[in-house]
Structure 1
Amino acid sequence: MLAASITDQASLASAWTSSIIGLAFYVVIAVALWRVFTKAGWPGILAIIPIVNLFILVKIAGYSAWLGLLYFIPIANLILMIIVAIKVGAAFGKGGAFSFFLLFLLPFIGYLILGFGDARYSKPA
């Protein structure tokens, strides 16, 4: 009985730790996206709303928000995330390597660099 109690406590502690780390990443990305949205001319408050921020990123990349529905299709969402990351990076004057590695793979770093750095937004054609 004691072993089960220790296992339950360990899994509960693990769940709390994961939740706190996940919440910290969400807050960092929301702050970074707030600044990116503001630079792009969108209200920064939209960065806090989970699904809406994806649609705004698609708009910042220069695509129609309807294309954001592809985020709900399993394989298409990975391809769309890469394309949007590269186009958002290009809209802020960054190259493809920066966009792929820092906006797609490490977005909590890349969007902080875009938001708080000296990158300027230029609307894609």
Structure 2
Amino acid sequence: MDTLSRITDRADLFALNGVTGVLTFAVYVVIVVALWRVFSKAGYPGWLAIIPIVNVFTLVKIAGFSAWFGLLYIVPILGFVFHLIVSLRVGRAFGHGAVFSVFFLWIFYIIGFFVVGFGSDTYDERRIRS
């Protein structure tokens, strides 16, 4: 077996190919659709949901933080906790309580963002300032 074929065989294990790639892309499109509506309701351009890292910074801004706080997602344990805080504040900004925010914006975030984006919720930044 030549070296090139061994390298490509190993690369197939890590590449997003076949069914995995299609499913990953489908989930990404669903998340973009949900975030697009959430961003539009919050007064931000919806197309920001398409760009992977930018959508995290925009979500942090919707939560009432500076976009620079989005860098906290890089820190391993702190990113996990900060994502919970952002979820709680986004939920509060759209008029939801802590239970909804934890279950639907933190754990099952795809469902939660669809509920927020396509529901009758309105964004009010004053809810997170008080």
Within the candidate set 24, 47, 50, 2:49 is matched to 47
1:62 and 1:43 map into 2 onto residues whose CA distance is 16
Give the alignment's TM-score, normalised by structure 1.
0.86
**What CA deviation, in whole Å up to 9, does each residue of 1:17-73 have, x standing for no partner?**
222111111111100000000000000000000000000000000011111100111
Aligned length: 115
Give the alignment's TM-score, normalised by structure 2.
0.83
- By how many angstroms is 1:109 displaced? 0.5
Within the candidate set 109, 112, 115, 1:113 is matched to 115
Runs of 5+ in structure 1 lacking a partner? Answer: 1-7
**Superposition map of 1:1-125 within 5 A:** 15-123=17-125, 124-125=128-129
Following TM superposition, the consecutive aligned residue runs of length 4 or more in structure 1 with deviations greater than 6 angstroms are: none
Q: Which amino acid aligns with 1:111?
A: F
SS at match of 2:68: helix
Q: What percentage of aligned pairs have identical amino acids?
A: 53
Q: Which amino acid aligns with 1:54?
A: V
**What CA deviation, in whole Å up to 9, does each residue of 1:47-105 have, x standing for no partner?**
00000000000000001111110011111111111100010000000111111111111
